[in-house]
Chains A and B, each alone.
Chain A
Amino acid sequence: MKKENVIQVENLTKMFGDFTAVKNISFEVGRGEVFGFLGANGAGKTTAMKMLIGISKPTHGKATVAGYDVLTHAEKVKRNIGYMSQRFSLYNDLTIKENIVFFGGIYGLSSSTIKEKSQTLINELGLHDKANSLVGSLPLGWKQKVAFSVALLHNPKIIFLDEPTGGVDPITRRQFWEMIYREASKGVTIFVTTHYMDEAEYCDRVSIMVAGKIEALDTPKNLKGQFQVDSMNKVFLKLARNIE
């Protein structure tokens, strides 16, 4: 089974002065894959992700995202990706509808497309009576769901999620992952960082970064086999201990 690769990373390195935040990482992600990008705080996963979404320049190495080089064609990369951050990514003092109109607008969607999309979005999330209320008044779980849908407005090929479920209750997290699967089944590639090891089990493949390097990369099942444990949590702990 040969899949088309939408993210291709070769020896990507990022240095801040003498400190190497990301050391020679290489991997690829196939179309429609749910790719988990794991690592402890400070392991370099956010830095690596920032290079992939074109807001941080690699020191060495090469990365192509959606077929474009992140260094030379950052603008084209940006048009083809969606991004949702761990910190909240919508404007709290705008209503749901206004947020949709604004983000649709900066991605250059036409007014009619925006109208149609916002209608579908509101229907799918069942937010009819909330469409005109300020985003700030919504519970966190709902905000994250809306943010995810907004990040998908311009039909990106790849969506980058930076700890999307931080601080959200288990039920909402479950619903959030259902949304992720729905998009993946449509062929959208999901690149997700997370702290929750149970969420790592939901991914097709998982990479684990420790101190700037990718120390493990495989399906959750294979990783558990390789480390002879029964959960991703234990894989993670064992790996971290071995390195130290």
Chain B
Amino acid sequence: MKRFIGFITKEFYHILRDRRSLFILFGMPIVQVMLFGFAITNEINNVDIAILDHSKDVNTKEIINKIAASKYFSIKGFISHEDEIESTFKKGKIKAVLNFEKDFSKNLVTQKKATVQILTDATDPNTANTISNYVGSILQKYQQELNRGLNIPYQIAPKTRMVFNPELKSVYMFVPGVMTIILMLVSAMMTSISITKEKELGTMEILLVSPLNPFQVIVGKVVPYILLSIINATVIILLSIFVFKMPVQGSLFLLGMESTLFIVNALSLGILISTISSTQQAAMMISLMGLMLPVILLSGFIFPISSMPLPLQMISNIIPAKWFIMILKGIMLKGVGLAYVWKETLILIGMTIFFIGLSVKKYKIRLE
């Protein structure tokens, strides 16, 4: 046990004295969460829009007031003719124009249906999409207010519907993904680098000549990263709760256990990588290309798996991150318990055992 503590102490000296790894370990998670949370969001704030109101009646006025009152939009002008729409967009400031049809109130009363056209500047398709969703939800709310106590409801087109994230907060979607990436990065990449570093410098040989057996050497190298990864997971969860006000609906304990499972999974991948690479550079490249890219592209973090071509959907099944993101979203956003994520959990456990077994086998061969 004393040997073991000595080993871990030494590992911490390595980490704390290497600015680069220290940054990857602690700077990266915070920078990434902040980046995804604040900068790369689908969220919109104070978007400039213009109004083209052909009917100028009670209902359109009320809708305009509601839109002006929301923090997402600020009304930067009224135009009076369709011809002006294009030139308005071309100036670049206005991102959307609301075009109310003629006789809006009248249509609403007589035909029970009125139309408002939402024109968005689609040079930035993501923002455009988000804007129309936001406007849609404001319209829908207004419609509900109007319809209260009415037998035959009024209908204002268009319609949108949002589940689990009624405010469309993109940060809710990003936190599980970012957490997965960071845990993967810290656990797999850092361990594989730190093990290959010993190989590269020749100190691994010295450790193997010592009475420590190879298993102890590996465990000694891995334990510090388990601790650091758990700290990282905690920091990310705290940041998302306190900075982004993201509610964690499910059990924190379950969240912790699942995260630890994923950390061990990533560590075993890291060990596997270190058995097949002999230099730190190689370990880093394999980690980046072999782990980070699939995690970002195929885990469902950014691109929905359901809209991928079938071969990619199949490949995504062998990526541990996919299952972990599903677990995270389940626990954090939907508040489900183990009963709903046991399948994903079992898959992760199975993968972890497979990776550990494989690296033990590889490691033995190397020692021959």
Residues of A within 8 A of B (CB): 53-57, 75, 78-79, 81, 83, 85-94, 98, 101-103, 105-108, 134
Residues of B within 8 A of A85 (CB): 202, 205-206
Binding site for A on B (CB under 8 A): 2-3, 6-7, 9-10, 13-14, 17-18, 201-203, 205-213, 367-368
Nearest Cβ distance between residue B199 and chain A, in whole angstroms?
Answer: 10
Complex: how many Å from CA A103 to CA B7? 9
A105/B13 in contact, CB under 8 A: no
Q: Do A79 and B211 form a contact, CB below 8 Å, given A91-B14, A105-B2, A106-B7?
A: yes
CB-nearest residue of chain B relative to A82?
B209
For B367, what are the chain A residues with a Cβ–Cβ distance below 8 Å? 55
What's the Cα separation between A89 and B209 when bound, in Å? 11
Closest to A75 in B: B211
The distance in angstroms between the C-alpha atoms of A39 and B13, with both chains bound, is 38
Taking the closest CB of chain B, its distance from the CB of A82, in whole angstroms, is 8
On whether A78 and B368 interact (CB within 8 A), knowing A91-B10, A106-B6, the answer reads no
Q: Assess the B209–A107 pair: CB atoms within 8 A.
A: no
Nearest CB in chain A to that of B202: its residue: A87
Contact of B13 among A75, A88, A93 (CB under 8 A): A93
Q: From known contacts A98-B13, A105-B2, A106-B6, infer whether A93 and B18 are also in contact, taking CB-CB under 8 Å.
A: yes
Q: B348 → chain A, closest Cβ, in Å?
A: 33
Chain B CB within 10 A, most for which of A56, A78, A90: A78
A sample of 7 inter-chain contacts (CB < 8 A) reads: A55-B208, A83-B206, A91-B10, A94-B14, A102-B9, A105-B7, A106-B210
Q: Please, how many angstroms separate the alpha-carbon atoms of A108 and B3 in the complex?
A: 7
Chain A residues whose CB sits within 8 angstroms of the CB of B14 once the complex forms: 91, 93-94
Contact present for B206 and A89 (CB under 8 Å): yes
- Top 7 A-B pairs ranked by shortest CB distance? A87-B202, A105-B6, A83-B209, A93-B17, A102-B10, A89-B206, A55-B208
With both chains docked as a complex, state the minimum distance between the C-beta of B88 and any C-beta of chain A, in angstroms.
61
A243 to B3, CA, bound (A): 49
Q: Which of B3, B17, B203, B213 contacts A89 (CB 8 A)?
A: B203
Cβ–Cβ < 8 Å partners of B207 in chain A: 106
Q: How far is the CA of A91 from the CA of B213 in the complex (A)?
A: 19
Chain B hits for A105, CB < 8 A: 2-3, 6-7
Contact A87 B209 (CB under 8 A): no
Q: How far is the CA of A53 from the CA of B203 in the complex (A)?
A: 15
Dominant SS among interface residues on chain B: helix
CB-CB < 8 A to B17: which residues of A?
A: 93, 134
Whether B7 pairs with A78 at a CB distance below 8 angstroms is no
| A115–chain B nearest beta-carbon distance, Å | 14
How distant is B207 from chain A, measured CB to nearest CB, in Å? 7
Residues of chain A within 8 A of B208, CB atoms compared: 55
- Which of A93, A98, A107 neighbours the largest number of chain B CB atoms within 10 Å of its CB? A93
Distance between Cα atoms of A16 and B210 in the complex (Å) = 25
Bound form: Cα–Cα A88–B17 in Å? 19
Q: Which chain B positions have C-beta within 8 A of A87? A: 201-202, 205
Q: With a CB–CB cut-off of 8 A, which chain A residues contact B7? A: 102, 105-106
Q: Are B209 and A88 in contact (CB under 8 A)?
A: no
With the chains together, A60 CA to B92 CA distance in Å?
80
A92 to chain B minimum Cβ distance, whole angstroms, is 8
* Residue numbers in A under 8 Å from B10 (CB-CB): 91, 94, 98, 102
Q: Which of B3, B207, B210, B212 counts the most chain A CB atoms within 10 A?
A: B210
Q: Could you tell me the distance between the alpha carbons of A10 and B181 in the complex, rounded to whole angstroms?
A: 54
Known: A57-B368, A94-B10, A98-B10. A106 touches B211 (CB 8 A): yes
Chain B positions within 8 Å of A75 at CB level: 211, 213
For the complex formed, measure the closest distance between the CB of B240 and the CB atoms of chain A, giving whole angstroms.
Answer: 34
- Which residue of the partner chain B has the closest CB to A78? B211
Q: How far is the CB of A90 from chain B (nearest CB, A)?
A: 8
A240 to B327, CA, bound (A): 66
The answer to whether B368 and A107 touch across the interface, beta carbons within 8 angstroms, is no
Give A147's nearest chain B residue, CB to CB.
B206
Complexed CA–CA distance, A78 and B216 (Å): 15
A100 to chain B minimum Cβ distance, whole angstroms, is: 11
Contact A78:B3 (CB < 8 A) given known A56-B368, A87-B201, A93-B18: no
Chain A residues near B2 (CB-CB < 8 A): 105, 108
> Which chain A positions have C-beta within 8 A of B18?
93
Q: Are A81 and B209 also in contact (CB < 8 A) when A94-B13, A98-B10, A98-B13 are?
A: yes
Q: CB distance B209 to A53 under 8 Å?
A: yes
Residue of A whose beta carbon sits closest to that of B14: A93
CB distance from A128 to the nearest CB of B (A): 22
Q: Which residues of chain A have C-beta atoms less than 8 A from B203's C-beta?
A: 88-91
Closest to A86 in B: B202
Q: Which residues of B contact A102 (CB under 8 A)?
A: 6-7, 9-10
Neighbouring A residues of B201 by C-beta, 8 Å: 87-88, 92
> Which of chain A's residues have a CB closer than 8 A to the CB of B212?
106
Q: B368 — which chain A residues lie within 8 A by C-beta?
A: 56-57
Residue of A nearest to B206 (CB): A89
The smallest beta-carbon distance between A141 and chain B, in angstroms, is 18
Q: Please measure, in the bound complex, the distance between the C-alpha atom of A56 and the C-alpha atom of B205, giving whole angstroms.
A: 11
Q: Least Cβ distance of B112 to chain A in Å?
A: 76
Closest residue of chain A to B200 (Cβ to Cβ) is A87
Specify which chain B residues have a CB less than 8 angstroms from the CB of A56 in the assembled complex: 368
CA distance A54 to B206 in the complex (A): 11
| Bound complex: CA A123 to CA B207 (Å) | 26
The residue of chain B having its C-beta at the shortest distance from the C-beta of A89 within the complex is B206
| CB-based nearest B residue for A88 | B202
Measured in the bound complex, the distance between the Cα atoms of B10 and A90 in whole Å is 12
Distance (Å) between the CB of A13 and the closest chain B CB? 14
